[in-house]
Amino acid sequence: MFADYRCFRWTRWGACAQVIAKRLYHYVTACLLPHESLLQYILSVTKSQGSLNLIESYNDKVQFVDDVRDIYRNSFLKFLKDLAETGSKQNFEMQEAIQRAFLRLDEDLSNEAVPKEGEPLNLKTMSVAMSGAVACVAHIDGPHLHVASVGDCCAVLGTQSETNSWVAAKLTNEHNAYSQSEIDRIIKEHPYNESTTVLKMDRLLGQLAPLRSMGDFRFKWSKEIMVKVAQHFGEHIIPPNYHTPPYLTALPEVTYCRLSPRDKFLILATDGLWDVMSPLQAVRLVGEHMKGKVTLNPLKLPRKNMTLNEINEMLLQRKEGLKMKPKDSNAATHIIRNALGGTEFGIDHMKISQLLSLPDDVVRVFRDDITVTIVYFDSEFLRHCPAQVKPHNLLIDSMI
């Protein structure tokens, strides 16, 4: 399995986003393991007291301090044992597995923060619980794509039509006050007399924009727990009109898509991008970048025994690509550059400089944080991929 969590979505504080980016893949992976493999893994870890890592990760620069690392290790080991006790299921459901991973990690974040009777408050785990993060995770298994989303990140599939024009398909729904289905869900989950207070100024209890998120337990904990927490953080920590919690859920919405050879890439991006750019604009920028990027790399024939006509066609396409040779070798950077500095006359680099140099206390007035991950698909692989593919975890990528 390949995992890459380059992208974080910070919600007020960064603690929750860092922890989720480090731990969520392991929870998802555990839920995907066959029962026999899970039992063998638990046995080997219990005997050796070795690492609990189930995946090989890249760009993993976050390291937890010893005391917190031990807490997280114990939580995950208990989760593995709980999974094993449920036994193997005849019919595996990807949606159920991913949702279970999200919800259990969120539950563990809560349990790790609330002190047991007689124990002191752990400020490290509490800081994680009091902050929050939205997340978007893509799981690719052959031609099968599942996208799980909590909050207002967005996944967009870039597809090339038969006429070579670009088509953008949104695979996620934003969980905020702009979604009528989310508004209806929130109101339905609480008494009628709260229908005017659950959402105020398009925010949950007048404070939180995402209507689903990981962490943010001051919108989830019981009033009894919140009163205890208020003793350490102050009464302001309890939102107004806090009558029938939980008001927030970490349950992800999972979308399935079967990939075709015309599906070229997947864009995962935070709401900061979609505030200033439409899905189709983003897809066209990546498509433009793909076409121009061939000029940045040495020419390599994709397969043996190509005819002269086929090679000539490649050279003509390469020549055409010179007209749109990109400034950035990275397509995600290309999108962000256009999002921050794009004008009807081209890129305004002075505008980019100004937006990136704004002080922290005013920056959110002018722009939201933007993080982007792009996953490219192998068209030849998808073209020859059988209709039924045995489960094999090829890639998990995410936006947190």
pTM of the model: 0.84
pLDDT at position 56, please? 78
pLDDT at position 5, please? 33
pLDDT at position 344, please? 67
HSE on the CB side for 85, CA within 13 Å? 6
Does 326 have pLDDT greater than 50? Answer: yes
Q: How sure is the predictor about 30, in pLDDT bands with cuts at 50, 70 and 90? A: very high
Q: How sure is the predictor about 265, in pLDDT bands with cuts at 50, 70 and 90? A: very high
Does 172 have pLDDT greater than 50? Answer: yes
Mean pLDDT of the chain: 85
Does 4 have pLDDT greater than 50? Answer: no
Q: How sure is the predictor about 50, in pLDDT bands with cuts at 50, 70 and 90? A: low
For range 319-345, the mean pLDDT: 78
Tell me what percent of the residues of the chain surpass a pLDDT of 70: 86
Does 120 have pLDDT greater than 70? Answer: yes
pLDDT at position 313, please? 82
For range 310-319, the mean pLDDT: 78
pLDDT at position 323, please? 61
Tell me what percent of the residues of the chain surpass a pLDDT of 90: 51
Query: Which position has the token pair 């990140």?
Result: 153
What are the residues facing 99 on neighbouring strands? Answer: none
Are the C-beta atoms of 268 and 398 separated by less than 8 Å? yes
Does 79 have pLDDT greater than 90? Answer: yes
For range 283-300, the mean pLDDT: 74
- Token pair of 390 as six digits: 């045995």
Q: How sure is the predictor about 345, in pLDDT bands with cuts at 50, 70 and 90? A: low
Q: How sure is the predictor about 392, in pLDDT bands with cuts at 50, 70 and 90? A: very low
- The strand ranges marked E within 316-371 are 342-343, 346-347
pLDDT at position 7, please? 37
pLDDT at position 366, please? 76
Q: How sure is the predictor about 393, in pLDDT bands with cuts at 50, 70 and 90? A: very low
Q: What are phi and psi of 139, to 5 degrees?
A: -115, 125
List the one residue out of 256, 1, 54 whose CA is nearest residue 146.
Answer: 256
pLDDT at position 9, please? 35
Does 6 have pLDDT greater than 50? Answer: no
Which range has the worst mean pLDDT, 155-169, 182-196, 231-245, 319-333?
Answer: 319-333
- The three-state DSSP-derived secondary structure of 10-36 is CECECHHHHHHHHHHHHHHHHHHCCHH
Query: Which position has the token pair 């504080």?
Result: 13
**Maximum mean pLDDT: which of 45-49, 199-203, 291-295:** 199-203
Cis peptide before 246 (omega within 30 of 0): yes
For range 351-365, the mean pLDDT: 79
pLDDT at position 269, please? 94
Are the C-beta atoms of 244 and 114 separated by less than 8 Å? no
User: Is pLDDT larger for residue 293 or for residue 259?
Assistant: 259
**Maximum mean pLDDT: which of 50-54, 183-187, 377-381:** 183-187
pLDDT (tens digit per residue) in 271-289:
999 998 999 999 999 998 8
